[in-house]
Structure 1
């Protein structure tokens, strides 16, 4: 049964180039697509959806002007959701994951506000990766475990896969992972969690991704025999 979906929404900049748009317009359409995917996911009873909005590498390498556009749009859409209580009405809990220490305070304030507003929502969850790196996530979890072992909060012999998972930004694993934009790799998205995820790669650029494309991914998942290493 499909309960959790991870999404790598790739192709915004190529979409802008393809249609002669500026990056802001392309990214705005990409943000709108997030809401659409949440709606489609709810139609097939998916309870958790995780989007990778911005990688840690993107944060380090993208121009200040492009990051400014991204953060401006993010704050705009969070403000809109806060005022309309969009996610509260959907009973959808919002959480952000990634290295928050590198993010501007204005962005963190918006993230914290929407998380606080939806903290008691329980029907579904949307997780949004911002300044996220799978390697950094694993390294961060390892450091936290070392500290807790030294502080005698846990013993080294207690550390197994289940315990390790609890130290990750996202402890749960997506059943299906979708990447748009024709690139067939994970690029560091949920490397620990996605070890048994079914991988679906769409040739559509993210703003072009439509309901029929999402349902093709769901059909792919439903037709796959999951073995989990057996």
Structure 2
């Protein structure tokens, strides 16, 4: 029996976020350039997206490219951007067939013009789909996101549109990139690293964290199912006692 058969489909996490880590190390382990790992990581993305949609996960957010990744060697950054364009073009038909709606968060203006154009086109083309919402975190920094949200709120206060006493957690969340989706209930990180890396810091306040030693190119849908199975066997107390929860 696989993990898919063990999952209680009535208690799925509505939103799963993933830090896709290990492409470079996977490639180096095979004596290849890091870019080879990124190319193979696309296969994992495809399989995990299909797996998430298959069981009924509503939101899947993938840490695709952080704001810090711009500091990598220029040839690797260029290769990743070119890969992003080609992947979008290749996968758009599959997204439509699987009723997946594409979304993106981050400082998208930092993306090369062609990349930004292709991304926006794919988002528009899939906007009518009603299944899984696949969000790519691109040129993304959680700290920068929170600073921008604070700046937006401060401008409203300065303009007299908002009283400081009316600033709440809910208002702050409404000014984040993720204002139109629920917070992740499950965060998965591959490659054996145990850190968050500036990813959805506000949003994962109560998420369950799942770490696996598998490098991203080796991660497949059954690994996603295993993570969800593990999630379903945790007690989520939100500050309460076990007795209160049960």
Q: Does the pair score TM above 0.5? A: yes
Give the C-alpha shift of residue 224 in structure 1. 0.6
The worse-fitting range, judged by mean Cα deviation, of 17-26 and 103-112 is 17-26
- Distance in 2, Cα, partners of 1:10 & 1:23: 12
Give the C-alpha shift of residue 43 in structure 1. 2.8
Specify which of 168, 173, 177 is matched with residue 176 of structure 2.
Answer: 168
The worse-fitting range, judged by mean Cα deviation, of 20-29 and 46-55 is 20-29
2:196 alignment partner, SS class: coil
- Distance in 2, Cα, partners of 1:229 & 1:138: 24
Q: TM-score, normalised by structure 1?
A: 0.94
Give the C-alpha shift of residue 122 in structure 1. 2.2
Moved beyond 6 Å, runs of 4+ = none
1:174 alignment partner, SS class: coil
Specify which of 230, 233, 237 is matched with residue 220 of structure 1.
Answer: 230
Alignment correspondent of 2:20: 9
Alignment correspondent of 2:7: none
- Distance in 1, Cα, partners of 2:132 & 2:219: 22
**Unaligned 5+ residue runs, structure 2?**
1-10, 241-246
Alignment correspondent of 2:42: 31
- Distance in 1, Cα, partners of 2:126 & 2:160: 34
Greater C-alpha Rg: 2
Within 5 Å, give how 1:146-185 maps onto structure 2. Answer: 146-171=154-179, 172-185=182-195
Alignment correspondent of 1:188: 198
Alignment correspondent of 2:244: none
Alignment correspondent of 1:209: 219
Cα deviation 1:113-142 (Å, max 9, x = unaligned): 111111222222011011101111111111
1:70 alignment partner, SS class: helix
- Distance in 2, Cα, partners of 1:177 & 1:73: 25
Alignment correspondent of 2:130: 122
The worse-fitting range, judged by mean Cα deviation, of 213-222 and 173-182 is 213-222
Within 5 Å, give how 1:65-104 maps onto structure 2. Answer: 65-82=75-92, 84=93, 86-104=94-112
Alignment correspondent of 1:111: 119
2:121 alignment partner, SS class: helix
2:120 alignment partner, SS class: helix
The worse-fitting range, judged by mean Cα deviation, of 122-131 and 198-207 is 122-131
**Unaligned 5+ residue runs, structure 1?**
none
Cα pair distance change 1:210/1:123, threshold 3 Å = closer
Task: Determine if the alignment matches structure 1 residue 42 to structure 2 residue 50.
Answer: no
Q: Is the 8 A contact 2:106 2:140 kept in 1?
A: yes
User: What is the alpha-carbon root mean square deviation over aligned residues?
Assistant: 1.3
Give the C-alpha shift of residue 44 in structure 1. 2.5
- Distance in 2, Cα, partners of 1:121 & 1:149: 37
- Distance in 1, Cα, partners of 2:160 & 2:52: 42
Give the C-alpha shift of residue 88 in structure 1. 2.3
Q: Is the 8 A contact 2:52 2:221 kept in 1?
A: no
